[in-house]
Copies of this chain bind each other. A is one copy, B any other.
Amino acid sequence: MTNPPSVSRGRRPAQGDPVIDRAFALLTAFNETRRAMTLAELSRVTDTPPSTTLRLARRLLHLGALERDADGRFVVGLRLWEVASLAPRAHGLRTVALPFMEDLYEATHQHVLFAVLDGMEALLVERLSAREAIDVLYRVGGRLPLHSTGVGLVLLAHAAPDFQEAYLAQPLVHEPEGVPLSSAALRRALAEVRRNGIAVVNRQEPRPLLAAAAPVRGADGDVVAALSVVVPAGHTESRFISPALRATARALSRGLGAPVSAALPPGRFPDRP
């Protein structure tokens, strides 16, 4: 009787009744393509009655987690950003990484990416790009597929084995091209990444480009992030990029306190000492 399976209308307005979930849903309703929303929009997107939405939004407004733009629409607030700047795996890593990224950037004047693993994707934590550099692929704060990007392959290749299996178990399609990717092929690619120490990806789709990515290790020796350089295909200095990338990633790892023996040959990192 407690669970009348028939009629009785499943009155689940969503799955997240609790207040905090709703408030957070309000925040996550914002989107790369939806950075400012009216109350009605918010209400619709979060599937919450307007009065409730208003009450929540107002509170978040008061806290500075939301703000209103010139048109009175809601946008993500500075206070939220301020708090988020304390996230160790994002801003914390970035702080250490930025100077190293600048070294790479100054040497190559192309895209330099820095990403971490989150869920089944890579989260782009920082990107340096020349203003004249072509095709902006991903934005900072955006997510990248693990199987068709340099940073993604690096992160996946060094992730926990059971995570890798879970990832391999799902159907995979190369991102922009739409070409299916067999798990066997990906498995081979990952092995190659581990063996080689860096990942190299060639893409044609938005524009022919070459991406090289290297693992960054934290204090406990685990891979915590990936550093990458993206250059147009046929870039004259392509050949020089891998060594520079390797060296920088290793210097950065050392900066993060990784037990990096300077004597180890590149690509020969022991995953377990």
Interface residues of A (CB under 8 A from B): 18-21, 23-24, 27-28, 30-32, 35-36, 56, 59-60, 63-65, 67, 69-70, 75-92, 95, 98-100, 102-103, 105-106, 116, 118, 123, 128-131, 139-141, 220
- Is B27 in contact with A78, judged by CB distance below 8 angstroms? no
- For A65, what are the chain B residues with a Cβ–Cβ distance below 8 Å? 24
Q: Is the CB of B139 within 8 A of A59?
A: no
**A91/B81 in contact, CB under 8 A:** yes
Q: Measured between C-beta atoms, what is the minimum distance from A53 to chain B in Å? A: 13
CB-CB under 8 A from A77, the residues of chain B are 87, 89
- B31–A98 CB distance below 8 A: no
Q: Quote the shortest CB–CB distance from A144 to chain B (angstroms).
A: 13
Contact of A84 among B36, B69, B76 (CB under 8 A): B76
Given contacts A20-B20, A81-B84, 8 further A-B pairs with CB under 8 A are: A24-B65, A30-B83, A76-B84, A77-B89, A81-B89, A81-B141, A91-B140, A99-B129
* Cβ contacts under 8 Å, A86 to chain B: 30-32, 35, 75-76, 141
| Copies of this protein chain in the complex | 2
Q: Which 7 A-B pairs have the closest CB atoms?
A: A85-B141, A84-B84, A81-B90, A99-B131, A81-B84, A76-B87, A81-B87
Structural contact, A20 and B19, CB atoms closer than 8 A: yes
Given contacts A24-B65, A30-B83, A65-B24, is CB(A141)–CB(B91) below 8 Å? yes
Across the interface, name the chain B residue whose C-beta is closest to A18.
B59
Is the Cβ of A89 less than 8 Å from the Cβ of B63? Answer: no
Which residue of B is nearest A30, CB measured? B86
* Distance of A20 from chain B, by nearest CB (Å): 5
When C-beta atoms are compared, the residue in chain B nearest to A99 turns out to be B131
